[in-house]
Amino acid sequence: MRVLVTGGAGYIGSVVAAQLVAAGHEVTVLDDLSTGFAGAVPPGATFVKGTLRDCAAEVLSDGIEAVLHFAAKSLVGESVADPAKYWSNNLGGTLALLDAMREMRIRTIIFSSTAAVYGEPERTPVEETDPTRPTSPYGASKLAVDTALTEFCRLYGFGAVSLRYFNVAGAQQAADGTWLGERHNPETHLIPNVLAAVTEGRRVQIFGDDYPTPDGTCIRDYIHVTDLADAHLRALGACRPGQHSVYNLGNGAGFSVREVIEVCREVTGRDIATDVTGRRAGDPAVLVASSAKIQSDLGWRASRDLRAMAADAWQFTQARGHSLAGGSGGSSPRGMPSRGGLGGSSPRASSERAGQQR
Ligand code: UDP
C-alpha cells in the first residue's frame, strides 16, 4: 500500500515508518523538521520536507492510499504557555490534512492520539469510554481531532483509528542498523532524561515523592515504541469506511518513577544519584491504560517489558553519544549530519533529492 506518514522524522513516526517499510509498504514521510530530524527518516522511505498546510495536497496526489498522522506539537508545558500554537498546529494542521484527503478521496487515517485526552482520570486502568477532560491545550487539541475524525467518518465515509498512547519509551533499530529513538529539545520525559543524566554525570530530579502511591512517586504505564508501532500496522488493516475506532495503548501495568530509575540503574550498570524536588504541575498520581479493547479487537498485545525499553533506549543514547563525539557535525545517530537542508519550497523537488540519497 502507498502510505503517507506525517511527522515521520519524529520519534514515534520514524519507528512506525520503519515498520511499514519492513512490511512492504511504499512510504512517504512528510515532516517540517520543526522538531524532527531528517536523519531519523528510515531507509527506504521517501522524504518530503514541508508542512501539512503547504504540502499535504501535493504529496497525497502522488497515489497515496492511507495516512498515518503523527505531525503535531506534543509538549504539555509548552501548550499551557502557548495554547494558540497547539490549536493551530494540532487542530488546524490536521483539518488541512483532512480537507486535502477528502478532496483526493483518500479516507483511511490512523491518528496519533494521547492519554492526555483523559486529563486526571477518575479510575485506573483507564478505559476508552471513560470521561475525556483534558487538563492542557495539548490534550484538548488532540481530543478535538478525535472529535473531527468521528464526524469525518460519519459524514464523509472516512475510516479512522485513533490510538491513545500512554508513556512511550524505548528505541528500535532500523534496517541499516541505525537506532531510532527519542530526542526532544528540551527533553522532558523520564527515561531519556535519566539516561542522559547517566552519560552527562548529572543528578536526576524526581518530581515529588508525596503522591498517594506505594513509594510516593508517580506511576505511569510504559509501552515500548516497537509494540506501539505494531499496533499502528494492525490498525491500518482494520480501518473500515464510516467507522472511527478509539484504542488505548499501554502495558496495563504501572511503574513508579523510582522503579524506572532502578531499572535504568540495572541496565546501565551505573549509579544514578537522585534529588527529590517539588511536584511538576499537572502530573496525575497514577496513569495506567486498559488495553483490553485493542487486544480483543485487533489481537494486539504488548510484548516488551520495562527492562527492554530501558535497554533499547540506552543503546540509542550510546549510539547518539558516539555520533556526537565522532564530530559528524550533527546530532543524528545515523552518524551523519541531519539533512534538514534538503527541503526546498517545492515538496516534489525535496522528495526527489531525498529519494536519490536513499
Ligand atoms: N519525571 C521525573 N523526573 C524527570 C522527568 C519526569 O520525576 O526528569 C516524572 C514525571 O513527573 C512523571 C513521570 O516521571 O511523574 C513520567 O513523566 P514523563 O514526562 O516521562 O511522562 P508523562 O507521564 O508526563 O507524559
Quote the CA–CA distance of 198 and 207 in Å, as a whole number.
18
- pLDDT tens track for 46-90: 999 999 999 999 999 999 999 999 999 999 889 999 999 999 999
Alpha helices in the chain (DSSP H): 11-22, 52-60, 76-81, 83-86, 93-104, 137-156, 190-200, 225-238, 257-268, 292-298, 306-325, 347-357
Nearest ligand 1 atom to the CA of 260 is 14
- 279 Cβ below 6 A of ligand 1: no
pLDDT of the residue at 323: 63
> In percent, how much of the chain has pLDDT > 90?
82
pLDDT at 227 over 70: yes
More confident residue, 61 or 330: 61
The yes-or-no verdict on residue 334 having pLDDT over 50 is no
SS3 277: strand
Its pTM surpasses 0.75: yes
Domain architecture of the chain: domains with CATH: 2-357 (3.40.50.720)
- The residues assigned a catalytic role are 138
274 C-beta closer than 6 A to ligand 1: no
The answer, yes or no, to whether residue 339 has pLDDT greater than 60, is no
Cis ω for the linkage preceding 125 (within 30 of 0): yes
Q: State the Cα–Cα distance between residues 105 and 316, nearest whole angstrom.
A: 39
* Mean pLDDT score, 148-155: 98
Q: From the CA of 116, give the closest atom in ligand 1.
A: 25
The answer to whether the CB of 99 is under 6 A from ligand 1 is no
Nearest to 140 by CA among 158, 119, 159: 119
pLDDT for residue 353 is more than 80 = no
Using most ligand atoms within 8 A of CB, pick from 190, 218, 263 the residue to mutate for ligand 1: 190
pLDDT tens string 14-44:
999 999 999 999 999 999 999 999 999 999 9
**Mean pLDDT of the 330-336 span:** 36
Cα of 24 from ligand 1 centre, angstroms: 36
Give me the pLDDT at residue 152, please.
98
354 lines ligand 1 (CB under 6 A): no
> What residue owns the CA closest to ligand 1's atom 7?
206
- Once rounded to an integer, what is the mean pLDDT over residues 210-227? 97
pLDDT in tens, 271-288: 999 999 999 887 889 999
Overall average pLDDT of the 190-197 stretch: 96
Structure-model confidence comparison of residues 11 and 348, the more confident one: 11
Asked if 179 and 171 touch (Cβ cutoff 8 Å), the reply is yes
pLDDT at 325: 57
DSSP category for residue 126? B
pLDDT of amino acid 356: 25
- Of 162-176, 241-255, 324-338, which range is least confident? 324-338
Q: State the pLDDT at residue 77.
A: 86
Instruction: For residue 138, count CB atoms less than 10 angstroms from its CB and return exposed for 0-12, middle for 13-18, buried for 19 or more.
Output: buried
User: Ligand 1: does its nearest atom lie under 6 Å from the Cβ of 148?
Assistant: no
**Pocket of ligand 1 contains residue 220 by CB under 6 Å:** yes
